[in-house]
Copies of this chain bind each other. A is one copy, B any other.
Amino acid sequence: MNQLTNLSPVDQLAQHEQEAKDLTRILPASKKVYIQGSRPDIQVPMREIELTDTPTGLGGEKNPPIMVYDTSGVYTDPNVQIDLNKGLPNVRETWIAEREDTERLDTLTSAFGQERLKDIRTAEIRFAHIQKPRRAKTGKNVSQMHYAKQGIITPEMEYIAIRENQRQREGVDMRQHAGQNFGARNLMEITPEFVRKEVAEGRAIIPANINHPECEPMIIGRNFLVKINANIGNSALGSSIDEEVSKMTWATRWGADTIMDLSTGKNIHETREWIIRNSPVPIGTVPIYQALEKVDGVAEDLTWEIFKDTLIEQAEQGVDYFTIHAGVLLRYVPMTANRLTGIVSRGGSIMAQWCLAHHEENFLYTHFDEICEIMKAYDVSFSLGDGLRPGCIQDANDEAQFSELRTLGELTHRAWKHDVQVMIEGPGHVPMHMVKENMDLQLEVCQEAPFYTLGPLTTDIAPGYDHITSAIGAAMIGWYGTAMLCYVTPKEHLGLPNKKDVKDGIITYKIAAHAADLAKGHPGAQVRDNALSKARFEFRWEDQFNLSLDPDTARSMHDETMPKEAHKSAHFCSMCGPKFCSMKITQNVRDYAQNQQNAEHSINNESVIEDGLKTMKTVYQEHGQKLYHKV
């Protein structure tokens, strides 16, 4: 694990040329396109995947390109010169400025932020182009929810409407199953007004701190595409700033919709600055982690003042959502005493320890309204933490967990009174048959505020594979109505994820989220499945790779068995070989059946088929009975 060096993160990154390439080259057969909104500065990025034509033997038609949601930012735009030292272009700067409800401060408000600015020991690793922070003018509320409630459709909202529709071309196969959405509202087209209404009514949030103008607007809510979050962050045990920045870029490249920086080690403040300035997606944090560092890891030394300064410090850097464990109430702590694994949430256990040490109520709960005042001055969204989530199957859905969830429901309403955006964190470890109970209770007590769950893991017996034990629960709870799924990597419970673990976790969670969109019947969700399946059926191997969530892996696995280029256009599957392939056989059957004049009517009429078959037999023999063609 390489420790922090004196090289700037950029220089360090530059050392790994291949890595830099991996981070910026566009995925195969893809091009970055921008859809313009009602004004020229609304440019919504998408990835367009070019497809080849169907082979002449199979009809030879053109296959229109497929548009997919793109979280990778300008890193995959060949027309943009990436400079991590300067950070990303400011997508939202003008929109924020023209609302005229914010002001630029001369200096950082937080004492700690000030102190770090002056600290010479961290000079070389400090981000060079720190802008002066924005804050709402006195008495103003700059949250997207506040605008939404006054009926204002912000550019962010319009941007999101375009983005969620993933515009598809003429001729794309839009067929899909109706789905079962448990009361979600699926529109055939997402309009800016629909986005506004969902945000106004608290069913969706737009995490978009006014100090993170680099962020490409996105939305989290049960009536939109299911999103995924990737956790990164260094710890006392290792990882350096450049590693974290490249993990972030790597994560968004593969589809992370938001990133949580869970750093607990050295230089948390500087690491966060680098990440936010270079992140095209919303960044979330757990401020209590840093606050704990400030009191040298002694929970009982935490104070509201230290925590408040940390909130402001991070809000002025541009953190888009805060995990805050305000639901860990004093009276709930003893409920965990007989658990098999007690309290496993770091934030939850810190607050529990604080409560017990002081025999006082959780200061995050008692100061909740003051926290809301800070949040709305920067538009930071709440992610109300589930500090008492179960840490094993046995502890699932117990009194401690559900008591806290009811309190999170109460806090949701208090935040909404301040027009502050809220999502709710969920478990954890839950066996399949107990997953839905979590969703149902959350929808009830939090009035459809977005649910944001960690998995849940459906068994405890597979450390090393918890991306899979949890993807099962994640796909199910996503189907039931969870808006965002926090990924779990193979290293969960074992160690710090490296880049391979991060990618494995993300692809696994893209699968879970997409399986949920399909099951909910989200409009257009099946387009990519249909296109890939058609390519598979027509042996268009390259298209099959290029349409997949991970083209590199799909291609390399295929090459292991059939390395030759010729095989990329082989009319057989590698499983069966040239002599024996069901796809090939199926095409014969299909050509045959399609040639039947009366296939449609005869389906339920055997005698008619019999006749049809007799007359067609010769035709069939003419166009070749062989099951295989030599390559």
Contacts and interface: CB of A to CB of B under 8 A. Distances in A.
B297 A627 contact: yes
Interface in A188-232: none
A545 interface: yes
A264 B180 CA distance: 41
A96 B577 CA distance: 40
A609 B331 contact: yes
Interface stretch (A146-154, A158-166, A461-469): A461-469
A554 to B, nearest CB: 4
Contacts of A576: 235-236, 264, 346
A433 B179 CA distance: 6
A115 interface: no
A563 to B, nearest CB: 10
A434 to B, nearest CB: 6
A180 B573 CA distance: 40
Contact of A519 (B337, B350, B353, B433): B433
Please classify the interface of chain A as helix (H, G, I), strand (E, B), loop, or mixed, using the class held by over half of its residues. helix
A507 interface: yes
- Specify which of A264, A297, A431 lies most central, judged by the most chain B CB atoms within 10 Å of its CB: A431
Contacts of A460: 529, 532-533, 536
B533 A236 contact: no
Nearest to A594: B337
A359 interface: yes
Interface stretch (A37-45, A78-86, A578-586): A578-586
Given A342-B586, A432-B518, A576-B346, A549 B334 contact: no
Contact of A561 (B237, B468, B617): B237
Interface in A494-524: 494-496, 498, 507-508, 510-512, 514-516, 518-521
A526 interface: yes
B609 A345 contact: no
A558 interface: yes
Nearest to A345: B582
A265 B561 CA distance: 14
A311 interface: no
A44 to B, nearest CB: 22
A548 B274 CA distance: 38
Given A357-B620, A583-B344, A533 B606 contact: no
A30 interface: no
Contact of A463 (B179, B298, B458, B544): B544
A368 interface: no
Contacts of A117: none
Interface stretch (A105-113, A405-413, A416-424, A470-478): A470-478
A460 B173 CA distance: 14
Nearest to A1: B561
Given A337-B590, A433-B479, 20 more contacts: A177-B433, A177-B434, A179-B433, A289-B580, A331-B604, A331-B606, A334-B596, A334-B609, A341-B537, A344-B582, A346-B581, A346-B585, A394-B530, A433-B519, A461-B511, A463-B554, A465-B508, A465-B511, A471-B472, A495-B575
Interface of A: 1, 173, 175-177, 179-180, 235-238, 264-265, 289, 292, 297-300, 330-331, 333-337, 340-346, 348-350, 352-353, 356-357, 359, 391-394, 396, 399, 431-434, 458-465, 468-469, 471-472, 475-476, 479, 490-491, 493-496, 498, 507-508, 510-512, 514-516, 518-521, 526, 528-530, 532-534, 536-537, 544-545, 547-550, 553-554, 557-558, 560-562, 573-583, 585-590, 592-594, 596, 599, 602-604, 606, 609-610, 613-614, 616-617, 620, 625-628
